[in-house]
Structure 1
Amino acid sequence: MNHDAGDKLRLDNFLPYRLSVLSNAVSRKIADMYEREFDISIWQWRILAVLGESEGITSTEVAARTLMDKPAVSRATASLIDRGLVTRTSDTADRRKSALGLSTAGREVYNAVIPRALAYEQELLAALSPEDAEALHSLLTRLAQIASPERDLWDRRED
């Protein structure tokens, strides 16, 4: 879609706006479930999800993987530690660093949310043909490379 300098911005056709609104709508629907059932916010879930895949990383690494700002990660992590869902272990070599991990209770929440999250993903993908779903993943990866050329926004490894 090429635009002339004199074109007016129409949000309903503006790709960044559409992606943002769609992302918020998709996130909000699943966030309602884990807020209602587990009393965790979207920010807390993102941290639990990252730690569920990568135990022992720092809050700086969590911020980098989620694109959350450091203060938001810090607040959400502190609340998860207070609730006993996340553990923090100081690095013996560098006291300024600490590794985060899921506690037993945090792992239980993570394991309970995963099947619901995957079911929601399947519900979304059911509206697409397999070819359209693969094309969507490919297009999202391509747009991510343009939006963030300095680093991958997500890992496309297949398990």
Structure 2
Amino acid sequence: MVMKEMDDLLKSVFQDKPIAQEPLQGMQARIMEQILAAPVDFQAKRLVRQRRKWGTIFLSGLFVLSLSLFLINWFLGPWLGGGLNTFVLWLTANIPMLAWLQNRWDWFLDTLAILSNLKIGYQFLWQQYGLAVMGILFSWVLFEGIRDKLNSTTIDGNS
């Protein structure tokens, strides 16, 4: 008996009855309002999909390159370093111009070391006195603006 009632209930639910026109038109109107309120830009979605694809390709290539360089350095680092050192020594011993360039390179690296020390000193001084300097500059700009405003009103007042 219960099975028969269930079958009757399912038959009544899934019968093809025509939908009334008024609710159908109201539903279509609401759907169109939603579509017109937030239209879909398919070209922008396509561009985003292409950018994601190329970004994934770029990141995977960068990952593979960094992993391969790491493995080369891990396994062949001492051998490559020794070979490169021997090659550079051979070049500088046999070609005087490269020795001159290497001396200039050492000068450049020494200059960078001096500049890095100056940068550390500048950062220390800025940490110590930066707030005071900014306060003085702010006060100067503020009072100069007030003085200029007062001078312009007195000149306009005398005219």
Is the pair's TM-score, using the shorter chain for normalization, greater than 0.5? no
Q: Which has the higher helix share?
A: 2
Q: TM-score, normalised by structure 2?
A: 0.21
Q: TM-score, normalised by structure 1?
A: 0.21
Structure having greater relative contact order (Cα 8 Å, sep ≥ 6): 1
Q: Which has the higher strand share?
A: 1
Structure with higher Rg: it is: 2
